[in-house]
């Protein structure tokens, strides 16, 4: 795998950091993207100290210009892009009657527009080479409804159906797009929830495995889809959720 290159967005912390480390451990050079430089550099050091190759590129996935620069760096410094992981994402809990346009746009700009911009850049290169893999990080909230999360649920539902459409589109030229739908994993995105014991108890009651996942459990599936899955698997979303979306 040593000549392959992966771009991972939101690679400075949480699930993105675990995914970047796991893909790098498979011998793939990784470009680490996100808005804050320092956490990306920490991930870079972790990958390098494990013997891997990682570059850092400060990127705002909501900006077409910033995303174009990210892919230019991957191509000029590492020779191309074989894998894209659209992991960058934000959430927010507001009931619809109180949801303002700025909050709706913040969530859709990152979770949907960001995925679109990165996928378009990757897809243009995959179409030229006749290969390539994209893995989108959706959410069980994209498969289920959840009061207070209409914008987030709608944005992740968009990720799931974008994955189906683009998976079918790219199959014509030999590239694949799949997605994972994480349930609850302990990261910064749910730090507030984890501090609230009664809310946590309610969450755990909904999860047959009765626990949150560990970032490595998600990273393993993303790496499988990015590097090892058969080419015939495309357009699919795999829930990694301790059974939450099955009941």
Please select the residue that binds ligand NAP; options are 5, 8, 10, 229, rule is CB under 6 A.
Answer: 10
Residue 187 interacting with ligand NAP (CB under 6 A) = yes
Residue 32 interacting with ligand NAP (CB under 6 A) = no
Please list the active-site residues: 152
Closer CB to ligand NAP, 174 or 243, in the complex: 243
Please select the residue that binds ligand NAP; options are 59, 150, 163, 234, rule is CB under 6 A.
Answer: 59
Closer CB to ligand NAP, 3 or 36, in the complex: 36
Residue 139 interacting with ligand NAP (CB under 6 A) = yes
Least distance (Å) from ligand NAP to the CB of residue 173? 27
Chain mean position to CA 174? 21
Least distance (Å) from ligand NAP to the CB of residue 172? 27
Please select the residue that binds ligand NAP; options are 36, 77, 165, 214, rule is CB under 6 A.
Answer: 36
Pairing of strands 54-58, 83-86: unpaired
CB contact at 8 A, 158 and 141: no
Residue 157 interacting with ligand NAP (CB under 6 A) = no
Output the DSSP codes for 198-235.
HHHHHHHHT-TT-SPBPHHHHHHHHHIIIIIS-TT--S
- The angle subtended at Cα 12 by Cα 29 and Cα 34, nearest 5°, is 85
Please select the residue that binds ligand NAP; options are 56, 137, 151, 227, rule is CB under 6 A.
Answer: 137
CB contact at 8 A, 183 and 211: no
How far is the C-alpha of 192 from the C-alpha of 179, rounded, in Å? 26
Q: E strands of 37-188, at which residues?
A: 54-58, 83-86, 133-137, 176-182
Residue 244 interacting with ligand NAP (CB under 6 A) = no
Question: Cα dihedral angle (188, 189, 192, 195), rounded to 10 degrees?
Answer: -60
Closer CB to ligand NAP, 21 or 97, in the complex: 21
How far is the C-alpha of 219 from the C-alpha of 17, rounded, in Å? 9
Please select the residue that binds ligand NAP; options are 24, 30, 60, 112, rule is CB under 6 A.
Answer: 60
Residue 149 interacting with ligand NAP (CB under 6 A) = no
Residue 9 interacting with ligand NAP (CB under 6 A) = yes
Piece of 44-52, 184-192, 201-209, 221-229 that binds ligand NAP (CB under 6 A): 184-192
All residues at 6 or more sequence positions from 141 whose CB lies less than 8 Å from its CB, including other chains: 149, 152, 153, 156
Residues numbered 97 to 136 that lie near ligand NAP (CB under 6 A) are 110, 114
Residue 219, CB-side half-sphere exposure with 13 Å CA sphere: 19
Residues of the shown chain interacting with ligand NAP in the complex, contacts defined by CB under 6 A? 9-10, 12-16, 34-36, 59-62, 87-91, 110, 114, 137, 139, 182, 184-185, 187-190
């Amino acid at each position: 795998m040593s000549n392959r290159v992966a771009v991972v967005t939101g690679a400075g912390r949480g699930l993105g950091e675990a995914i970047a480390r796991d893909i790098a451990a498979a011998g793939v050079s990784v470009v680490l993207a996100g808005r804050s430089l320092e956490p990306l550099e920490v991930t870079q050091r972790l990958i390098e100290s494990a013997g891997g190759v990682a570059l850092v590129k400060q990127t705002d996935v909501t900006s077409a210009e910033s995303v174009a620069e990210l892919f230019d760096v991957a191509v000029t410094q590492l020779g191309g892009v074989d894998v894209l992981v659209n992991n960058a994402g934000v959430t927010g809990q507001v009931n619809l009657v109180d949801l303002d346009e700025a909050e709706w746009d913040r969530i859709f700009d990152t979770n949907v527009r960001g995925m679109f911009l990165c996928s378009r850049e990757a897809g243009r290169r995959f179409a030229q080479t006749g290969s390539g893999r994209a893995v989108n990080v959706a959410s069980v909230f994209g498969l289920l409804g959840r009061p207070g999360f209409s914008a987030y649920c709608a944005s992740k539902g968009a990720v799931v159906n974008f994955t189906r459409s683009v998976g079918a589109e790219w199959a014509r030229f030999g590239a694949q797009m799949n997605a994972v739908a994480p349930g609850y994993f302990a990261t910064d995105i749910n730090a507030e929830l984890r501090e609230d014991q009664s809310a946590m108890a309610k969450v755990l009651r909904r999860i047959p495995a009765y626990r949150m996942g560990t970032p490595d459990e998600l990273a393993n599936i993303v790496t499988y889809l990015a590097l090892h899955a058969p080419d015939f698997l495309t357009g699919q979303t795999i829930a990694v959720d301790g059974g939450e979306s099955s009941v």
